[in-house]
Amino acid sequence: MRIIKRNGSEVDFDSAKIAAAISKANAAADVSERLSASDIEEMTDRVTATCELLGRAPSVEEVQDMVERQIMAHGAFEVAKRYITYRYTRALVRQSNTTDDKILSLIECANEEAKQENANKNPVINSTQRDYMAGEVSKDLTARLLLPQDIVEAHNEGIIHFHDTDYYAQHMHNCDLVNLEDMLQNGTVITGTLIEKPHSFSTACNIATQIIAQVASNQYGGQSISLAHLAPFVDVSREKIRREITEEFSETGITVDEQTREKLVDRMLREEIRRGVQTIQYQVVTLLTTNGQAPFVTVFMYLGEAKNEREKDDLALIIEEVLRQRLEGVKNEQGVWVTPAFPKLIYVLEEDNVREGTKYFELTKLAARCTAKRMVPDYISEKVMRELKGDVYTCMGCRSFLTPDRFTDKGIGNIARAKNYEPGKHKYYGRFNQGVVTVNLVDIGLSAHGDMDAFWQIFDERMELCHRAMRCRHDRLKGTLSDVAPILWQYGALARLDKGEPIDRLLYDGYSTLSLGYAGLWECVMALNGKKLTEPEGEELGLQIMRRLNEYTAKWKAAENIDYSLYGTPLESTTYKFAKCLQKRFGVIPGVTDKGYITNSYHIHVTEPINAFDKIRTEAKFQALSPGGAISYVEVPNMAHNLDAVIALMQFIYDNILYAELNTKSDYCQVCGWDGEIEIQEDNGKLVWTCPCCGNRDQNKMNVARRTCGYIGTQFWNQGRTQEIKERVLHL
């Protein structure tokens, strides 16, 4: 068994240290109040047994809390007082150097929390360490100076999660939809250099990757671009190639008929598309931003965004090449093709591509092959999205959706001064999310002790806490000058404001959103009435809670002219933190707190046996009540030889749910060449990734890809998330 120290490092669990700590407190007490040696041994054994039952590495603080409770339960109040006093004295000493210790543990790669905080960051490399070091300073400033103390305490106790405190000290926002069309068609500026409209598709792709890198380094969330914004440059290249070929034939005196010439143009154009797409693919996976990871970018593939039939056909060519290259994968250090995490791909299912006989159905079949092997693309239903939102547009990488704009209705106009603004037409690109605060629904459910009146009272209190925390996010961005990130605010990614101009106007009227996140609906309902979301009573209570969450966002929005939106949080490391906090506050409760994780958003529990179609059908009801973002998934086996089933699922998604994905496995052992599933095995109380063929456990010598939060992770995860991955059941 292992234990996590205060600086984040992980060491072997030593029960002798528990006995020693109790003995020191015991020795400081009056003789008449002291415990016997057998009492101390019994307490030590009980604490050790409790830690073993957790199925994960406890923290030092958790163990000390257990010791306190054992001493108190024994009635040794004088010893307990001595022990608590010692803890308090040590805490005062640590206040001056806790941040220092954490930073040093980061540099020495001994911080387990940092190693497992983000499945797409390598904590060993300098750029990641630099980002984490800055993050520790930001967290310290945020906790001591920038946030109200009750919000800090609620965050630390896992009652809420104030996302991205490591960036809060700076005036930065979460994620955005890049207005790539404006930047490509009307020019932009990158690090002081004017970039004019490109004259070929390959150049447009190259510029797009530079924009992606710049944007990623100036905010901390995901970003999305649309391939439709690149599609017009296909015809630019077509005309350029045709002109060059004609001139070359004329100069050499060669005569060819038009059909032969067009075949040559088409072949050369497809080669340019291949090179351009390859530029995006390889640049994105090889770039490192200032926060030590590849840009968290989503590529949106929607034929309906094309402005005419020629452009739609050209867009189809780009989509086809993107899918083909992703299907192939990228080579790892050994030259073996593996699954990359980014760019994330979203493919829109629409009337022109969803069924046999439609014009672009071959694209959909290719998408099915890609999903079966590489887990992407994810799927948006044009049909359902129009029903729910009235329009079709991409989400951001973390699944957050902007609210449909209301600029036309309110006569707001072009407040971002985009050069591609069209009056009367909806605007999505160039808009962004200000930040996220997530409420731990499980904590509310358990705090009510089965009393629904108490539940709604606590619920209301927590909503106001979240509201104040979100307003902190909003107020932190107010007054931000466009100069802090010229690529975003001055040169078209989000706006074209003047130098020195505040961004405040973009924080209101729905131009940007604030997200109220939620997690653990499954466990919350279970805590309240003992029912599952898949049972009628559980489903109804779950939907009632979702409706109440939406009532609050609507109330805040109406009162403040700020777009609050309900968001199904993609907890990654926080699922583990919430689970540990719940166990600390309420103990281990079967079906509620007996895991090292809680369920993301409204999802059906990963251990629940349910078929793929019923899961999608059930979760669609909840997804419709999560307008700020949500995604559903089905866990499937290797589907490479059952593409008909994949397509059947895609068609079911089109008819029933807005946004969904298929999860499979894509692994490789660098020691023995195993390309099946890398397994998770338990070893001395810790879950370890293990090759079933050769037994390799060296995480640096294997490639593991799993979708954990809607996006794919390719490093490794904390123990809570690893347990969740291990316990997933197949839905097909």
pLDDT at residue 417, rounded to an integer: 96
**Which tokens in the block code for residue 531?**
């029912």
Active-site residue, from 78, 113, 321, 572: 572
**Which tokens in the block code for residue 356?**
């046999």
CB 613 within 8 A of CB 660: no
d(CA 274, CA 260): 21
Kind of pairing, strands 432-440 and 512-519?
parallel
**Count of other CB atoms within 10 angstroms of residue 211:** 25
d(CA 186, CA 182): 5
Residue type, 447: S
Residue type, 224: S
Quick check: is 413 catalytic?
no
Active-site residue, from 175, 205, 395, 702: 175
Alpha carbon 71 to chain centroid, angstroms? 42
Active-site residue, from 183, 398, 526, 650: 398
CB 401 within 8 A of CB 181: no
**Which tokens in the block code for residue 535?**
């049972």
Quick check: is 51 catalytic?
no
Active-site residue, from 118, 174, 632, 703: 174
d(CA 278, CA 287): 14
Residue type, 355: R
Active-site residue, from 347, 393, 567, 654: 567
Alpha carbon 170 to chain centroid, angstroms? 21
Quick check: is 308 catalytic?
no
Q: What share of the chain is helix, strand, coil (3-state, %, to 5)?
A: 50, 15, 35
pLDDT at residue 144, rounded to an integer: 86
Active-site residue, from 396, 470, 650, 702: 396
d(CA 633, CA 707): 10
CB 647 within 8 A of CB 365: yes
CB 7 within 8 A of CB 94: no
Quick check: is 396 catalytic?
yes
pLDDT at residue 308, rounded to an integer: 97
Active-site residue, from 520, 710, 713, 720: 710
Is the omega angle on the peptide bond into residue 609 within 30 degrees of 0, that is, cis? Answer: no
Active-site residue, from 202, 433, 573, 656: 433
pLDDT at residue 341, rounded to an integer: 81
Total count of residues recorded for the chain: 732
435: left (phi over 0), alpha (psi -120 to 50) or beta: left
What angle is formed at CA 533 by the lines to CA 529 and CA 535, rounded to 5 degrees? 80
Quick check: is 126 catalytic?
no
d(CA 712, CA 285): 13
User: What DSSP character marks residue 551?
Assistant: H
pLDDT at residue 307, rounded to an integer: 96
CB 506 within 8 A of CB 415: yes
**Which tokens in the block code for residue 669?**
């052992």
What are the residue ranges in the chain where pLDDT is below 50? 119
d(CA 74, CA 401): 53
Using alpha carbons, select from 650, 633, 590, 623 the residue that is nearest to residue 730: 633
Quick check: is 205 catalytic?
no
pLDDT at residue 104, rounded to an integer: 60
d(CA 34, CA 454): 42
CB neighbour list of residue 430: distance below 8 Å, 6 or more residues apart? 176, 177, 178, 179, 182, 416, 418, 492, 493, 494, 495
CB 581 within 8 A of CB 158: yes
CA distances from 675 to 99, 200, 368, 376 (A): 42, 39, 20, 18
**Which tokens in the block code for residue 544?**
């009632």
Q: With helix as H, strand as E and coil as C, how does 373-431 read?
A: HHCCCEEEEHHHHHHHHCCCCCCCCCCECCCCCCHHHHCCCCCCCCCCCCCCCCCCCCC
User: What DSSP character marks residue 59?
Assistant: B
pLDDT at residue 198, rounded to an integer: 97
**Count of other CB atoms within 10 angstroms of residue 462:** 19
Residue type, 416: A
User: What DSSP character marks residue 143?
Assistant: I
Quick check: is 567 catalytic?
yes
pLDDT at residue 101, rounded to an integer: 63
Using alpha carbons, select from 220, 221, 227 the residue that is nearest to residue 184: 227
**Which tokens in the block code for residue 317?**
């060519």
Quick check: is 540 catalytic?
no
CB neighbour list of residue 677: distance below 8 Å, 6 or more residues apart? 665, 667, 692
Quick check: is 700 catalytic?
no
Residue 403 — φ and ψ, nearest 5°?
Answer: -75, 150
Active-site residue, from 118, 400, 601, 666: 400
